[in-house]
């Protein structure tokens, strides 16, 4: 087989344009297709024919103009899957035909990486900067060349959009471990969006009783259709009172805020059991949410407030296992829309539409 010499990839440009999103006109960045030579293959590299990539919140918030600090032009995308079509002579862990997804694994060399704590990689500050004038790792591309240490195998038997949901599930698994969820505990998830649904599935897999609170009918319906019996309509009911009622006044052992809003933090905090409740801040909010907490209460009630972000290398391996064996059904966090790479601007419009689950881009359609 003749290997490709170039790739086409999508990038968010500095330029802006008006688009209609969810019935409103918004001034958003332009996303468009560019072409560049594929990097030379090294001895530990894999060449990938890319399949699909989801548009993550970090992607569309930058496109919306909410994350200007990330820089332009940005050729991002990290929720992809690809098939190995060639490998360097020193690659032993992968074969041509394997399906892989990306691992945010750090450098693999520093002391934190050696301990498996790759999120704390000490060489992370040295970012690669722009290549061929573009920032980002080229997740929205038809071909890729990657180091074998930066990917993990995912099953060939599931649809590619599910295989591409690796990083979000790794992030959720990391959060669940940090929250130390135990079988038989009651865990409340605030929000049934893309990441709320993912948190609910992983909490269930960890053996917890899962209660979900959500405001919008579409997401309430999605959570209920998955078989979650305790789903609270937070518009029709006071979610704090409902959680107290469902737990006979005991409260939640742990709460996961999968929404970055001050109101969600205040509600979640109020649902915690009287002593030793644990609260996980899973989502960031823009603008920065306001939340006042009483330090004395944290002290007297032994409350734990835990932050989480991304995952460590082991969480990605666990995520690949859970997705591959359908312990988690990643399709439940997806909108079910497959948009050609050549229509990347349209894909961003769909992804940024309020109440949308993850939108998928078909990377071979360019
Ligand atoms: Zn993501
Ligand atoms: Zn490192």
Q: What is the mean pLDDT of residues 291-299?
A: 96
Instruction: Please name the residue that has the structure tokens 């006042």.
Output: 292
How remote is the CA of residue 260 from the centroid of ligand 2, in Å? 29
Same domain, 337 and 259: no
pLDDT tens per residue across span 92-131: 999 999 999 999 888 888 999 999 899 999 985 556 689 9
Residue 126: per-residue pLDDT: 56
149 domain residue, yes or no: yes
pLDDT tens per residue across span 140-176: 999 999 999 999 999 999 999 999 999 999 999 999 9
Same domain, 204 and 274: yes
Residue 286: per-residue pLDDT: 83
pLDDT for residue 296 is more than 90: yes
How remote is the CA of residue 256 from the centroid of ligand 1, in Å? 18
Region of residue 212 (left: phi > 0; alpha: psi -120 to 50; beta: else): beta
Cα(366)–Cα(363) distance, integer angstroms = 7
Q: From 307, 332, 354, give the residue that closes a domain.
A: 307
Q: What is the mean pLDDT of residues 323-334?
A: 97
In the chain, how many domains are there?
Answer: 2
Same domain, 148 and 250: no
How remote is the CA of residue 197 from the centroid of ligand 2, in Å? 31
How remote is the CA of residue 55 from the centroid of ligand 1, in Å? 7
Closest ligand to 80 CA?
1
Packing angle between helix 239-246 and helix 262-270, nearest 10 degrees?
Answer: 30
Give 38's pLDDT tier (boundaries 50, 70, 90): very high
Residue 107: per-residue pLDDT: 87
Same domain, 235 and 262: yes
C-alpha separations of 197 from 8, 105, 189 in Å: 33, 25, 9
Same domain, 55 and 94: yes
First vs last Cα of the chain: how many Å apart? 20
Closest ligand to 310 CA?
1
Q: Which residues surround ligand 2, an ion (CB under 5 A)?
A: 106-107, 110, 113, 121
Packing angle between helix 57-64 and helix 344-352, nearest 10 degrees?
Answer: 100
Q: What is the mean pLDDT of residues 266-273?
A: 98
Helix or strand (DSSP H, E) at 362: strand 358-362
pTM summary value: 0.94
How remote is the CA of residue 125 from the centroid of ligand 2, in Å? 10
Q: What is the mean pLDDT of residues 201-214?
A: 98
Q: From 307, 327, 342, give the residue that closes a domain.
A: 307
Q: Which residue has the higher pLDDT, 67 or 19?
A: 19
Q: Which domain holds residue 213?
A: 172-307
Residue 79: per-residue pLDDT: 97
Please classify residue 79 by burial: count the beta carbons closer than 10 Å to its beta carbon, then call 0-12 exposed, 13-18 middle and 19+ buried: buried
DSSP state of 150: G
Same domain, 76 and 218: no
- For the chain, give the mean pLDDT: 96
Residues 149-160 as b or e (16 or more Cβ within 10 Å = b): bbbbbbeeebeb
- Do residues 33 and 10 lie in contact, with contact meaning Cβ atoms separated by under 8 Å? yes
How remote is the CA of residue 113 from the centroid of ligand 2, in Å? 4
How remote is the CA of residue 115 from the centroid of ligand 2, in Å? 9
Same domain, 27 and 154: yes
How remote is the CA of residue 111 from the centroid of ligand 2, in Å? 7
Give 235's pLDDT tier (boundaries 50, 70, 90): very high
pLDDT for residue 48 is more than 90: yes
Same domain, 237 and 326: no
C-alpha separations of 28 from 53, 63, 184, 351, 360 in Å: 21, 6, 46, 13, 19
Same domain, 25 and 162: yes
- Do residues 12 and 74 lie in contact, with contact meaning Cβ atoms separated by under 8 Å? yes
């Amino acid at each position: 087989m003749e290997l490709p010499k170039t790739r086409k990839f999508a990038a968010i440009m500095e330029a802006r344009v008006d688009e209609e999103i969810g019935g409103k006109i918004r001034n958003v960045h332009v996303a468009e297709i560019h072409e560049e030579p594929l990097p030379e293959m090294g001895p530990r590299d894999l060449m990938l024919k890319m399949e699909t990539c989801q548009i993550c919140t970090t992607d569309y918030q930058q496109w919306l103009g909410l994350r200007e600090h990330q820089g332009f032009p940005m050729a991002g995308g990290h929720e992809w899957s690809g098939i190995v079509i060639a490998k360097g002579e020193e690659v032993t862990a992968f074969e041509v035909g394997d399906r892989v997804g990306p691992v945010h694994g750090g450098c693999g060399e520093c002391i934190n990486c050696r301990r498996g704590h790759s999120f704390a990689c000490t060489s992370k500050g040295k970012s690669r900067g722009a290549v061929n004038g573009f920032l980002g790792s080229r997740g929205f591309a038809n071909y890729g060349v990657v180091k074998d240490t930066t990917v993990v195998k995912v099953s060939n038997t599931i649809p590619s959009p599910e295989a591409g949901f690796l990083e979000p599930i790794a992030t959720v698994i990391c959060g669940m471990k940090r929250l130390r969820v135990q079988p038989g505990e009651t865990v409340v998830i605030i929000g049934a969006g893309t990441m709320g649904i993912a948190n609910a599935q992983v909490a269930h897999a960890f053996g917890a009783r899962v209660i979900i609170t959500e405001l919008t009918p579409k997401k309430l319906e999605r959570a209920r259709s998955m078989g979650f019996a305790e789903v609270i309509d937070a518009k029709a009911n006071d979610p704090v009172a409902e959680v107290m009622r469902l737990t006979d006044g005991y409260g939640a052992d742990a709460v996961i805020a999968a929404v970055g809003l001050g109101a969600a933090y205040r509600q979640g905090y109020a649902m915690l059991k009287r002593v030793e409740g644990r609260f996980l801040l899973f989502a960031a909010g823009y603008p920065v949410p306001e939340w006042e907490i009483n330090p004395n209460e944290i002290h007297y009630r032994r409350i734990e407030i835990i932050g989480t972000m991304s995952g460590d290398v082991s969480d990605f391996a666990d995520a690949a296992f859970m997705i591959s064996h359908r312990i988690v059904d990643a399709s439940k966090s997806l909108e079910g829309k497959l948009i050609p790479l050549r229509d990347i601007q349209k894909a961003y419009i769909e992804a940024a539409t309020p109440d949308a689950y993850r939108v998928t881009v078909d990377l071979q359609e360019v």
